[in-house]
Structure 1
Amino acid sequence: MAKTNNSSVPAFGMKDRLGYMFGDFGNDFTFILSSMFMMKFYTDVMGISAGVVGMVMMIARFVDAFTDVTMGQIVDRSKPTKDGKFRPWIKRMCGPVAIASFLIYQSAFADMSYGFKLVWLIVTYLLWGSIFYTSINIPYGSMASAISSDPTDRTSLSTWRTIGSTLASLVIGTGTPLVAYVTVDGNPVLDGSRVTMIAGVFSVLAIICYILCFNLVRERVEVPANNQKLDLLGIGKSLVTNRALLGIIAAALLLLLAMLGMQGMTGYVFPNYYKNAGAQSVSSLVSSVAILVVCAPLASKLAAKFGKKELSIVSCLVGAGSFLLCLIVHPENVWVYIGFSTLAFIGLGFFNTVIWAMITDVIDDAEVKNGVREDGTVYAVYSFARKLGQAFSSGMIGGLLSLVGYTEKTAFDPVVIEGIFKISCIVPIVGLIAVALALIFIYPLNKKRVEENAAELARRRGEK
């Protein structure tokens, strides 16, 4: 059983919050780049069809069903070192994940055969997402439970993690379109060599952020190695019967479907429908600032008062309602579209800010019921669900773009761009309503239940 270790580690404080923020900052230098620009890069620069790229991304996420859970087991069974149980993995794997991400965006191969480019996409994407990203993201996410056992501290970590991802969105979403596009025949077109350069810079920045995370964060809750005999059937049964985990899995999958669908479509709706690539930067800037100014300061306070589950349900419904209004109004002015999008991101931002604290609530709930703490395994299953959301969003967007006839040659046809606009609204509407329903009918950890679990675990550990 986990216990608190206060003998030589300084008290939880701002260094931990900043360190945890830098961890997700590092993650998202590669993750958000992939979510927002990889499909655009391979369709417009490498000449691979959107449907094929989406299918590759989807298949890769099913590979993660094995690599995520395997990494979770490795983490759970690893013995704590002088640096802790989870922190060492961040230092070990930061280089490989950054290099693998950079290799994905090699525009020098644009003139190679279709088969070569497809194989290159498959190999580099699997190396980045299914192996190296998994090997750093699972320990990083699991580490929140070891930094502090206090639910308020964990909500704070979740908030600062969201700040990290928002800053990454700000840098990538705002800066990349300003640099990556060139004007050809009056239309904004993605420049392959510039994307390669950007990917290299982001990989270096990712490594710097990971090192800052490693140096600033400290683990305080001792989580011993799980030496129980590996029982895959038992693990599967425990996970399937864990209603809290099933609820957060459903919510996470649908959240990623909606959120990454929104992000993925920005690379098409702004340069193609509105013919304004610069507006994509403005949209990312405004949305990121809104999350930092509105969501980050208020999320912890609102969650403490009303509960994380309760706040998240309202958050998702506000986001869905914003895009429903956008679909009905059908703005021809790009700045009106940005207004609706920003309002949706503010609504969604509250849920996205506290969701990382919700998974630690799920881990606590499982420990209360089973008496065994399996941070790595539970987080790995949760991470896999998020990757499925990423995969389904990529496959869905690729399929929908192909359905409306999008290719490099038809990128600015009136019928095609009208389809792009509708996709950009309908995907988040359906996805966010589904998230709210999953939280209402499946996820059981309301404010009262979370507080009861925290008190019970504190009693078992002999804490005051």
Structure 2
Amino acid sequence: MTNTIGASAAKTIERDVRPFGFRDKLGYMFGDFGNDFTFILQSTFFMLFYTNVVGIHPGHVGTLLLVARIFDAFTDVIMGIIVDRFPNAKAGFKFKRWVKWIAIPVAIASALMYMSFVADFESYTAKVVWMTATYFLWGSFCYSAINIPYGSMASVISTNPDDRSHLSAWRSTGANLANIVISTALPLIVYVTNEAGVSIISGDRMMWSAVVCSILAVFCYAGLYLLVEERVVENADAPKERVGLGKMLGTVLSNRALLALIVAALILLLAFMYVGGMLGYLFLEYFRDGRLQSPASFLALVPSLVLIVLSPWLAKKFGKAEVGITVTFLGGLIFLAAYFLKIESAAVWIGFYAVAMFCVNVFNFLVWAFITDVIDYQEVRTGHRDDGTVYAVYSWARKLGQAIAGFLIGASLAWVGFDSAIASQGLPQSESAVNGVYFLANVIPGVGLILVSLSLFFLYPLKKKMVEENVAILASRREAVEL
């Protein structure tokens, strides 16, 4: 039976503002466009920059990613609590104000991670210190301070689950547009061929590309701030009940839907970020041309733009969870098939990759609507939304998946014999290392996606019917409040 603590009074109401519409969807898209001008840049090029340009051992880069994301367990959740409890004198700006405050700092912190002069440091320790300090500044502080409010914002833009599916689709469209720019255009800019005929990454070109991405991120955040309206606000007439931090975290962490989504998100991000991080190594070492990453990324991303229309329709007809279960299972099978076929043609492998990533992107276009369903479930259970805290716990799980992926990339590259010293000199890797890269780029994401499907099927309770029931419960509570 559903626990309905605090169900006697609606804790939230809707503001009397313009109806939800295209401006909100476009603005929310700009938010993730801005986020991913720094996030996708990091997931795609950070390790490559520090192994192949700066000369850091891949295991050291991977360890940094793991430790930093564990640290984010504290910064993300603390940021979520701050967002929920920081006094808000102006209704409708609970989340938007953080975008205004943090947009420029996060952009500067991102650019600092790719300064090419770091490769000229004589001390290996100094290189590691710069890498560590700038990464923590960007990821653990600035990015958390803008991403937690941005992600939480979706639950207050509209109460309609179909609107939220559209927001999730538009958010993912923003991410894909940034991904297209970074994964399709940047490889054509940052990869060059040296005098020995070996494809390498240019440190100077990487630095200036990062600066441009940071500038574009700030403009995108401005679009988010100006276009989106926060409609669901606290009910000023409702009795004020101050819930202790321990009790609040306890109710959040007892949310079955959140815990199941955390499991799925952790595995998904591990698989998704792992293949994204391995892509550059695959084309540089296995297919011998880093520039091939550009058409691969283009074909993996551009077809998915149709999902801005298709994914909300699929969610409405079949349910978000049901769609997610199906597409992640299919994506996993395709990656495993690519490995067992031992594809030697870059064009053929890119075809497999494009289809698998389309399946993954169907789920990615809906995943942000999953978290708004979880926030509704939290309010139905406890009478409190705890938007920021719920999203922060979920965000940390995603970051942990990214961290494990980053650590596994570094550790597994070392395991298959990849030599960063040889790479920084522009020399080819050993045959065993090259074959190992192919194994890693296909098997780990394939197994991971199948595990995501199974976790959603067996653990996640918010299938289509329950989501509709929760929306009806909350609507009836709000209708009882005199506006």
- Range class of TM-score, shorter chain: over 0.9
**Secondary structure of the structure 1 residue equivalent to 2:193:** strand
Q: Distance in 2 between matches of 1:160 and 1:2?
A: 28
Q: Aligned residue for 1:266? A: 279
Structure 2 counterpart SS, 1:189: strand
What residue ranges of structure 1 are gaps of 5+ in the alignment? none
Contact 2:166 2:308 in 1 (8 A): no
Report the alpha carbon displacement of residue 241 of structure 1 after superposing the two structures with TM.
Answer: 1.9
Deviation at 1:289, TM superposition (A): 0.9
Structure 1 residue aligned with 2:193, among 161, 180, 183? 183
2:207 to 193, 196, 200: 196
Hey, what's the Cα distance between the residues in 1 that align with 2:409 and 2:235? Answer: 43
Paired position in structure 2 for 1:119: 129
Q: Contact 2:92/2:233 (CA < 8 Å) preserved in 1?
A: no
Deviation at 1:296, TM superposition (A): 2.7
Contact 1:43 1:407 in 2 (8 A): no
Could you report, residue by residue, the CA deviation over 1:260-305 in whole angstroms, capped at 9, with x for unpaired residues?
0110011100111101222100011111111113x33211111101
What is residue 216 of structure 1 aligned with on the other side?
227
- The within-5 A match list for 1:116-265 is 116-184=126-194, 185-223=196-234, 229=242, 231-265=244-278
What SS is found at the alignment partner of 2:108?
Answer: helix
Measured after TM superposition, the shift of residue 117 of structure 1 is 0.8
Give CA deviations for 1:84-137 in whole Å, capped at 9, x if unaligned.
Answer: 211111011000100000001111121211101101111110110000000000
Cα distance, 1:233 vs structure 2: 3.1
* Backbone CA RMSD of aligned residues: 1.6
* Partner SS for 2:366: helix
Aligned to 2:49: 41
Q: Which moved more, 1:355-364 or 1:430-439?
A: 430-439
Instruction: Give 1:318 deviation, angstroms.
Output: 1.0
Cα distance in structure 1, aligned partners of 2:294 and 2:74: 37
Match for residue 388 of structure 1? 400
Q: Distance in 1 between matches of 2:171 and 2:480?
A: 26
TM-score by length of 2: 0.93
**2:6 match:** none
Which of 22, 26, 32 is the matching residue for 2:34?
26
Q: Which residue in the other structure is 2:22 paired with?
A: 14
Partner of 1:303: 315
SS at match of 1:218: coil
Which stretches in structure 2 are left out of the alignment for 5+ residues? 1-9
Residue pair 2:91, 2:233 contacting (<8 A) in 1 also: no
Aligned-partner residue type, residue 304 of structure 1: K
Percent sequence identity over aligned pairs: 48
Q: Find the counterpart in structure 1 of residue 365 from structure 2.
A: 353
Instruction: Please identify, of 178-187 and 372-381, the stretch whose mean Cα deviation from structure 2 is larger.
Output: 178-187
Deviation at 1:223, TM superposition (A): 3.4
Q: Work out whether 1:75 is the aligned partner of 2:92.
A: no
One of 406, 418, 423 as aligned partner of 2:440: 423
Q: 1:448 to 1:189 in 2, by over 3 A?
A: same
Displacement after TM superposition at 1:231 (Å): 3.1
Instruction: Indicate the SS of the match to 2:344.
Output: coil
Q: How does 1:421-460 map to 2 (within 5 A)?
A: 421-460=438-477
Q: Which residue of 1 aligns with 2:108?
A: 99
Do the aligned residues in 1 keep the contact of 2:106 with 2:138 (CA within 8 Å)? yes
In structure 2, distance between residues paired with 1:317 and 1:122: 36
Question: How far is 1:393 from its partner?
Answer: 0.2
